[in-house]
């Protein structure tokens, strides 16, 4: 049946869609089996970065609030603004509120792999692939690019929205329906609210170029309403603007943090590039990685063809670009066969080929040196991530070749055999590679389930509060519920990276003077306890031994396998809060919340009240209910001036960027709701008018 003008010829039948969902669930089970049965992951940033955020986040959600501030990591940091928590991301809001942290982490991981495969399948179908071709494209894209990056939680979150936004854009071009612009705004807002903006930037850049070239050059299948070209571009810009507006509650605090962070003058944009010679991994993976090989050693051994980059230069995760041997050689064979027949590629095919080649050039890092002054490019490291576009372009081409191959085969049985052979080889190949190129392991009994059994946690719970622990493994010991230094943050307040203020480092070759310098820093920072892998020299360190323990949780998280940990109480630390110059003053903690600290202060002479927590915009102080000025003490901590006598001092974190973001987000939501209402109203009027015209038209069968 011919379609009306403006309608897409593509129809996704429910049975076909259900089959795609079933395949996506099967693949997620095959690649991530232990996560379905209560296991977990360990390694990479899981326990040093993600779980310390997620535990604080889950506790806040159960208290009915969003965690704006994390007081456990170092001297504190704005957790909502350090966006990888994804505090307003809808799946996080639901799952971390309802499930234990490990179960929620597993569920978000699995659901995003399932959804990413389905989204890529839908995009392949919208771009003209058949069921099997779209399935191969989705498999190559999702399981070629994302599993090796499983240590980067944000990667698969982008894996959903990258093809989803492209699907919305192509659907809008083919149908001319505004519903796809509304879907674009919603998808982009979730992409941004997920918390890591690098893939969102790449997706927006790719889609913008795609729309421009598609409407001006590759016009196959465009709806007549998509001409002239400025109309779809204008619609796209409106949708993108609304998407950013909806995500403003996340974006504005993050922009504020970035301006006050180590990223304010970032010079490491080429870190994480793809060395040109490493592209040979696509030809055959065993050249560079396998069960007994370490690609990082090969990457670090030579810089041939690489741009200038900071120490480390790149790593096997950032530089990974593999499409499976079956997918890659299928594309190559199809291309050679097309050249032999003299077949001319479609303009849309040329567009995707150009995007894929352009992306792999960006991935080498060289163009970043010339473009780093541009917004977006200057913000992110890891140019190897542009390879996601190349992966999709190769996947799309491989799917198209498979469709052409199946179209020449007669007999369902033979076609099924070909699909099983190519698909099976692709899946097995990608499964092994995902185990070889990764920084994580799946285990049946994850350490986070045993936090309550921690002996260090039990010992610290018996100590007078507040506790501040100096320990190895940045952030991880905060899972015990105690404040811990040093910190590990993706975007952190600049004070933490100021060499004048940072903790002095020592090693086994350090002199006693170097050790004393670190001890003085710890005492000045209010550190009360020290946890070490090896025993401390009690002749040098002013500490008391609290215990030598085999901590089931910490040792498992650090993969130390029942080795002793040494816990000490540090002598002579500064109090967490004190009145400068008044040794007789008493300061009592009445409340130590995450965004609210209440102190009772009794000082005969008054003076400067110092609190050894990070000074950051948004912290406001009141003395006896009246607003006071919050200042910065020693370039790091909070302080305020108190008058003589007894007073109640309250610090509360209420950043303007959060409330301004909420206002912008609310206004954008109202605009989007008004757009939807207007669209529905116009649609209803059109249907009523059409029905009225039909009823008033003369009956063709009536006698004249």
Rounded mean pLDDT, 319-328: 94
pLDDT band at 9 (very low <50, low <70, confident <90, very high): low
**Can you read off the two tokens belonging to residue 672?**
């989007």
pLDDT the model gives residue 286: 82
Q: Rg for the chain (alpha carbons), in Å?
A: 29
Q: Note whether 529 and 663 are within 8 A (CB).
A: no
Please say if the pLDDT value at position 266 is more than 70.
no
Selected residue with higher pLDDT from 687 and 278 = 278
pLDDT the model gives residue 690: 75
Please say if the pLDDT value at position 661 is more than 50.
yes
| High-pLDDT (> 70) share of the chain, % | 96
pLDDT the model gives residue 310: 56
pLDDT the model gives residue 697: 66
CA distance 44 to 148: 11
CA distance 57 to 378: 29
pLDDT digits (tens, 9 = 90+) for 594-617: 999 999 999 999 999 999 999 999
Q: Please calculate the CA angle 656-661-663 and round it to the nearest 5 degrees.
A: 100
pLDDT digits (tens, 9 = 90+) for 344-399: 888 999 999 999 999 999 999 888 888 877 777 777 878 999 999 999 999 999 99
Rounded mean pLDDT, 37-62: 95
Of 477, 573, 450, residue with least CA distance to 532: 477
pLDDT the model gives residue 699: 54
Please say if the pLDDT value at position 4 is more than 50.
no
pLDDT digits (tens, 9 = 90+) for 611-635: 999 999 999 999 999 999 999 999 9
pLDDT band at 6 (very low <50, low <70, confident <90, very high): very low
Q: Note whether 653 and 619 are within 8 A (CB).
A: yes
pLDDT the model gives residue 287: 83
Please say if the pLDDT value at position 701 is more than 60.
no
* Domain ranges for the chain: 19-443, 447-570, 577-657
Please say if the pLDDT value at position 267 is more than 70.
no
Residue 701, CA distances (Å) to 176, 584, 691, 704 in order: 36, 105, 19, 9
Residue 48, CA distances (Å) to 470, 554, 616 in order: 15, 11, 23
Q: Which residue has the tokens 């996560």?
A: 35
pLDDT the model gives residue 578: 96
* Lowest-confidence segment of 260-269, 313-322, 500-509 by average pLDDT: 260-269
Mean pLDDT of the chain: 91
pLDDT the model gives residue 296: 81
CA distance 70 to 82: 10
Rounded mean pLDDT, 182-188: 97
pLDDT the model gives residue 694: 75
Rounded mean pLDDT, 474-487: 96
Q: Which residue has the tokens 């003369």?
A: 698
Please say if the pLDDT value at position 243 is more than 70.
yes
pLDDT digits (tens, 9 = 90+) for 271-309: 889 999 899 999 888 888 877 787 887 787 777 778 876
Q: Please calculate the CA angle 55-558-493 and round it to the nearest 5 degrees.
A: 55
The CATH number that domain 577-657 falls under is 2.60.40
pLDDT the model gives residue 148: 94
Rounded mean pLDDT, 565-588: 95
* Cα 136 → chain centroid: 26
566 three-class SS: strand
Whole-prediction pTM value?
0.93
């Amino acid at each position: 049946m011919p379609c009306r003008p403006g309608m897409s010829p593509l129809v996704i039948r429910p049975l076909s869609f259900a089959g795609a969902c079933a395949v996506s669930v099967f693949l997620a089970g095959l690649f991530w089996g232990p996560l379905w049965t209560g296991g977990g992951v360990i390694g990479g940033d899981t326990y040093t970065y993600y779980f310390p955020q997620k535990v604080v986040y889950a506790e806040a959600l159960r208290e009915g609030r969003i965690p704006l501030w994390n007081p456990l990591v170092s001297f504190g940091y704005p957790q909502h603004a350090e966006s990888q928590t994804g505090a307003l991301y809808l799946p996080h809001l639901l799952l971390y509120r309802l499930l234990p942290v490990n179960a929620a982490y597993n569920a978000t991981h699995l659901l995003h792999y399932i959804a990413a495969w389905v989204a890529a399948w839908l995009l392949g179908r919208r771009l003209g692939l058949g069921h099997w071709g779209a399935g191969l494209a989705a498999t190559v894209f999702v399981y070629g690019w994302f599993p090796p990056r499983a240590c980067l939680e944000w990667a698969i979150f982008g894996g959903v929205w990258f093809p989803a936004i492209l699907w919305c854009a192509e659907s809008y071009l083919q149908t001319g329906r505004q519903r796809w612009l509304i879907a674009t705004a919603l998808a982009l807002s979730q992409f941004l609210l997920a918390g890591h903006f690098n893939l969102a930037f790449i997706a927006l850049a790719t889609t913008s170029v795609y729309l421009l070239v598609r409407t001006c050059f590759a016009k196959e299948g465009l709806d007549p309403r998509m001409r002239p070209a400025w109309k779809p571009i204008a619609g796209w810009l409106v949708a993108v603007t609304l998407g950013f507006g909806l995500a403003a509650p996340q974006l504005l605090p993050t922009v504020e943090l970035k301006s006050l962070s180590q990223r304010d003058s970032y010079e490491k944009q080429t870190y994480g590039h793809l060395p040109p010679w490493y592209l040979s991994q696509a030809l055959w993976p065993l050249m560079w990685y396998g069960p007994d090989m370490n690609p990082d050693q090969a990457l670090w051994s030579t810089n041939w063809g690489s741009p200038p980059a900071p120490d480390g230069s790149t790593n096997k995760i950032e530089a990974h670009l593999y499409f499976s041997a079956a997918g890659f050689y299928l594309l190559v064979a199809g291309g050679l066969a097309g050249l032999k027949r003299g077949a001319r590629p479609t303009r849309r095919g040329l567009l995707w080929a150009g995007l894929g080649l352009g992306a792999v050039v960006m991935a080498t890092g060289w163009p970043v040196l010339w473009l780093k002054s541009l917004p977006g490019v200057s913000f992110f490291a890891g140019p190897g991530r542009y390879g996601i576009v190349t992966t999709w372009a190769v996947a799309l081409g491989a799917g198209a070749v498979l469709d052409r191959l199946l179209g020449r085969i007669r007999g369902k049985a033979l076609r099924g055999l070909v699909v099983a052979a190519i698909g099976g080889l692709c899946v097995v190949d990608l499964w092994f590679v995902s185990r070889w190129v990764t920084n994580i392991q799946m285990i049946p009994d994850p350490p986070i389930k045993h936090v309550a059994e921690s002996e260090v946690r039990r010992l610290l719970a018996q100590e007078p509060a507040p506790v501040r622990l100096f320990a190895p493994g940045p952030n991880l010991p905060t899972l015990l519920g105690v404040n811990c230094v040093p910190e590990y943050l993706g975007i952190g307040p600049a004070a933490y990276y100021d060499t004048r203020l940072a903790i002095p480092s020592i090693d086994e070759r350090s002199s006693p003077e170097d050790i004393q310098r670190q001890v003085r820093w710890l005492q000045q920072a209010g550190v009360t306890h020290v946890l070490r892998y090896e025993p401390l020299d009690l002749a040098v360190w002013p500490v008391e031994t609290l215990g030598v323990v085999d901590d089931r949780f910490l040792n498992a998280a650090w993969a130390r396998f029942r080795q002793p940990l040494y816990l000490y109480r540090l002598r002579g630390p500064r109090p967490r809060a004190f009145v400068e110059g008044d040794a007789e003053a008493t300061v009592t903690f009445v409340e130590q919340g995450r965004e609210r600290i209440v102190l009772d202060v009794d000082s005969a002479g008054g003076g400067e009240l110092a609190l050894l927590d990070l000074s950051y915009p948004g912290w406001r102080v009141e003395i006896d209910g009246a607003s006071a000025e919050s200042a910065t003490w020693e370039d790091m901590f909070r302080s305020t001036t108190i008058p003589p006598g007894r007073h109640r001092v309250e610090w509360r974190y209420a950043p303007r960027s959060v409330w301004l973001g909420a206002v912008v987000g609310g206004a954008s939501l109202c605009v989007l709701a008004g757009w939807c209402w207007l669209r529905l109203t116009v649609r209803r009027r059109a249907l009523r008018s059409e029905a009225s015209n039909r009823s008033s038209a003369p009956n063709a069968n009536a006698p004249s």
